[in-house]
Copies of this chain bind each other. A is one copy, B any other.
Amino acid sequence: MREVVILGIGMHPFGKYTEKSLKELGRVAIWEAIHDANVPPKDIQAIYFGNSVGGLLTGQEGIRGQTVMKYSGLDWVPVTNVENACASGTTAFRGAWMEVASGLCDVALAVGAEKLFVNDTAKSIAAIAADSEVELARMGMQFTSLYALNLKKYMAESGATQKHFAKVVAKNSFNGSMNPMAYHRTPLSVEEVLASREIVWPLTLYMCASMGDGAAAAVLCAKEVADKYIKEQHRLVQIEACVLRSGVWLDPTKKDLKDPISRTAEEAYNIAGVGPKDIDVIEVHDAMAPAEIKLYEELEICGKGEGPKLIDEGTTAINGRIPVNPSGGLAAKGHPVGATGLAQIAEIAWQLRGECGQRQVKDPQIGLTQNDGGWVDGDSAAHTITILKRL
């Protein structure tokens, strides 16, 4: 496998764009990434397009990526459309990485785009969540209730309180207020978060990721040929690991000791040759913000049961020892399903390049994104961990 770098990144800001199509959102992110990469479009040899609910919401079920590429003037490049619910963006990134790392091509484009704000948005909720026969139809479960169930278990184990969860949202909304790509840019106090409408205890409204429209893209390149594209002050980010795993982690030969996210992270740490202590900045998939505290433990940036302490001590604040969700996370940024994973990667790449302005983390060398998607019979369908390094 060859070493692969991110040459360029681009985003269409997340938000509510009732007047814009998926194609328009995608085109903006794609061309920003291409310009940022300084790559002639003719050099792009493969495209991976991640989108989750475009079939149900826009009626464009097949070849979604190709229609966006046609609109973006890139229709001669082969497209692989990928889907993994909320992890579709990282799945697209991983596909592009594999094309380049394997030597099949030198330059590939990864795109994640999603449009959720349409007339009948109830459709999208049903479409995204889960196995439609099992969770939705048979059991009447929804994402929020599944999350709440898991959180209650975690609260009992760790002593985390609803206030801890509200602190996460307060931290992230502060970060998001400095992010021009975020949908919601109002800093929220702990009190405001607790006072917002209860969805399913312990979740209040402001703890839940909001819907969003948006797109993100990255141009990937074999490190060995990157030189020819590098312009003055061009900063490169190297892909150290990009791992996709099922949330059901069954190894029939031994007893599982760790949860799926920990094991996915462990695999990524091993591939990258780093440990949790080496990570300087993290974006986690806080589809419901309280999950962030649990994720501190699962990613092993603290010990078991120490998550609440981390948020109390401000360790994961933007000026803390290991900032988490400097972008604002899913709650502040909005959560356009198929775009989210690539937007996390964009944030970490920008952080490593030192281009985040007010919300810039101090001199990070190595960053990590954790993105997962879907739900099948009580388990996450797809876990991804990506580790990036500044060159």
* Residue in B66, B95, B127, B382 whose beta carbon sits within 8 Å of that of A79 in the complex: B382
Q: Does A104 contact B (CB under 8 A)?
A: yes
For the complex, what is the distance from the CA of A246 to the CA of B381, rounded to whole Å? Answer: 30
> Which of A82-90, A205-213, A214-222 binds B?
A82-90
Q: Does A146 contact B (CB under 8 A)?
A: no
Contacts of A58 in B (CB 8 A): 132
Contacts of A126 in B (CB 8 A): 59
Please tell me if the beta carbons of A67 and B99 are within 8 angstroms of each other in the complex. Answer: no
Shortest Cβ distance from residue A142 to the other chain B in the assembled complex, whole angstroms: 14
Shortest Cβ distance from residue A54 to the other chain B in the assembled complex, whole angstroms: 9
Q: Does A309 contact B (CB under 8 A)?
A: no
Please tell me if the beta carbons of A62 and B66 are within 8 angstroms of each other in the complex. Answer: no
For the complex, what is the distance from the CA of A84 to the CA of B48, rounded to whole Å? Answer: 11
> Which of A319-327, A344-352, A356-364, A371-379 binds B?
A371-379
Q: Does A248 contact B (CB under 8 A)?
A: yes
Please tell me if the beta carbons of B377 and A245 are within 8 angstroms of each other in the complex. Answer: no
* Residue in B81, B128, B375 whose beta carbon sits within 8 Å of that of A83 in the complex: B81
Asked if A250 meets B53 with Cβ closer than 8 Å, knowing A81-B83, A84-B81, A128-B62, the reply is: no
Q: How many copies does the complex hold?
A: 2
Asked if A59 meets B132 with Cβ closer than 8 Å, knowing A76-B246, A80-B84, the reply is: yes
* Residue in B21, B59, B85, B95 whose beta carbon sits within 8 Å of that of A95 in the complex: B95
For the complex, what is the distance from the CA of A133 to the CA of B59, rounded to whole Å? Answer: 9
Please tell me if the beta carbons of A80 and B91 are within 8 angstroms of each other in the complex. Answer: yes
Binary CB contact string for chain A from 225 to 268 against chain B (1 if under 8 A, 0 otherwise): 00000000000000000001110111111000000000000000
Please tell me if the beta carbons of A1 and B377 are within 8 angstroms of each other in the complex. Answer: no
* Residue in B55, B77, B245 whose beta carbon sits within 8 Å of that of A55 in the complex: B55
A110-138 with Cβ < 8 A to chain B: 126-134
Please tell me if the beta carbons of B252 and A132 are within 8 angstroms of each other in the complex. Answer: no
Please tell me if the beta carbons of B66 and A382 are within 8 angstroms of each other in the complex. Answer: yes
Name which residue of chain B comes closest to A123, CB basis.
Answer: B61
Please tell me if the beta carbons of A63 and B382 are within 8 angstroms of each other in the complex. Answer: yes
For the complex, what is the distance from the CA of A99 to the CA of B373, rounded to whole Å? Answer: 21
Contacts of A79 in B (CB 8 A): 84, 246, 381-382
Asked if A81 meets B82 with Cβ closer than 8 Å, knowing A59-B126, A132-B59, the reply is: yes
Please tell me if the beta carbons of B61 and A245 are within 8 angstroms of each other in the complex. Answer: no
Contacts of A75 in B (CB 8 A): 246, 248, 250, 376-377, 379
For the complex, what is the distance from the CA of A126 to the CA of B244, rounded to whole Å? Answer: 33
For the complex, what is the distance from the CA of A134 to the CA of B23, rounded to whole Å? Answer: 12
For the complex, what is the distance from the CA of A374 to the CA of B79, rounded to whole Å? Answer: 11
Extra contacts, 5 of them, besides A66-B374, A101-B102 (Cβ < 8 A), are A55-B61, A61-B127, A67-B131, A75-B248, A75-B379
Pull 27 A–B residue pairs with CB atoms less than 8 Å apart, ordered by A: A1-B102, A1-B103, A42-B252, A55-B127, A56-B61, A59-B127, A60-B131, A60-B132, A62-B83, A62-B337, A62-B373, A63-B84, A63-B85, A63-B374, A66-B131, A67-B132, A67-B376, A70-B376, A75-B246, A76-B251, A78-B245, A79-B382, A80-B84, A80-B91, A80-B94, A81-B91, A98-B104
